[in-house]
Structure 1
Amino acid sequence: MRILIVEDEALLAMEMESELESAGHEVVGIAAESATAKSLVSDASPDFAFVDIQLQDGPTGIDVGRELAARGVPYKFVSGNLKRIPTDYAGAIGGIEKPYTVNGFRNALAFLETYVAGERGRQVPSSLVLAKRLPTE
């Protein structure tokens, strides 16, 4: 998959990039603030995105998420406080709470790969919180 990372913590973004590339995915961009993220959504045409809620320009990750959802790009929130996710999940598949373990991230990624590919019924890993009503339902 072509994946966009929207994360203002540089070390975490680099770690995520490394994990995604090791899993065979292409990282099409990393954004630390909403304007860059929205530009990458438009220009890089990602297949999936990981979006932090709190970015350099404030809690604007939700706006980025809504832009992704409007374009039909599935995404997952990555946040230190999942309670900040709107009740409608802003179109996200779900969220993963920071700090997460490498194993937790890998398990969530494996689930998301199959979900984006259209497979259903796989057990949801404990590291991933799903929206009550998933965007494609």
Structure 2
Amino acid sequence: MSGRTLEVLIVEDEMLLAIELEHLVEEVGCHSLGCAMSSDEAVDLAEKLHPDLALVDVHLSDGPTGVDVARKISQDCGGVALFMTANVKRLPDDFAGACGVIGKPYSEHGVKTALGYLSYCLTEGHAPGPAPVGLTLAPAYAALWGLDDVMQRTA
């Protein structure tokens, strides 16, 4: 993945929010592959486009199906999901294979900082330091990116 632009799929059923996220993705130097508003649309796009990262809301137009979408993207499509949701408590302990979560409401600055951080992690294979404020990493990804020691010190 190193040396190329991160390709991001947005899975969000609120159109204005999806458009805003698309702009933020582009502003941090990533490439938006488009937006999906339902679980079927998200899985179809992920299977066709193989995103590096998918920004996934838990509650989509067809119900609380975002957890299934994240699991499918991480297991079958070779991508990494990041939850962006007001429903943080609905996430399973294993984060459904996602790398983490940003809770809603979130700020433009927070999303851009998190995207920059994740872009580094996904490109370099390790974290540049602790996760920025507003981004909670899944334990499996914290370990993968070498943050076990940092996580234990801050816990």
Q: CA deviation at 1:32?
A: 0.5
Higher helix content, 1 or 2: 2
2:12 pairs with 1:13: no
The answer for the alignment partner of 1:57 in structure 2 is 62
Aligned residue pairs total 137
- Cα deviation, residue 135, structure 1: 8.1
Structure 1 length normalisation: TM-score? Answer: 0.94
What SS does the corresponding residue of 1:29 show, helix, strand or coil?
strand
Q: Which runs of 4+ in 1 moved over 2 A?
A: none
The 5-angstrom pairing of residues 40-119 of structure 1 reads: 40-70=45-75, 71-117=77-123, 118-119=125-126
Say whether the 8 Å CA contact 1:4–1:50 is kept in structure 2. yes
1:23 equivalent in alignment to 2:28: yes
Q: Give CA deviations for 1:22-70 in whole Å, capped at 9, x if unaligned.
A: 2222111200100100000111111111000000000111111011111
Q: How far apart are the structure 2 equivalents of 1:136 and 1:72?
A: 19
Q: Quick check: 1:100–1:127 contact (8 Å CA) kept in 2?
A: yes
Structure 2 unaligned spans of 5+: 1-5, 145-155
Aligned partners of 2:38 and 2:109: how far apart in 1? Answer: 27
1:134 is paired with a residue of what secondary structure?
A: helix
Q: Which whole-Å CA distance do the structure 1 matches of 2:128 and 2:31 have between them? A: 26
Contact 2:82 2:98 in 1 (8 A): yes
Q: How many Å apart are 1:4 and its aligned residue? A: 0.2
Q: Secondary structure at the match of 1:133?
A: helix
Unmatched 5+ stretches in structure 1? none
Find the structure with the greater CA-based Rg: 2
What is aligned with 1:126?
133
In structure 2, what is the Cα distance between the partners aligned to 1:110 and 1:26? 12
Partners of 2:117 and 2:128 within 8 A in 1? no
* Structure 1 match to 2:151: none
TM-score w.r.t. structure 2 length? Answer: 0.84
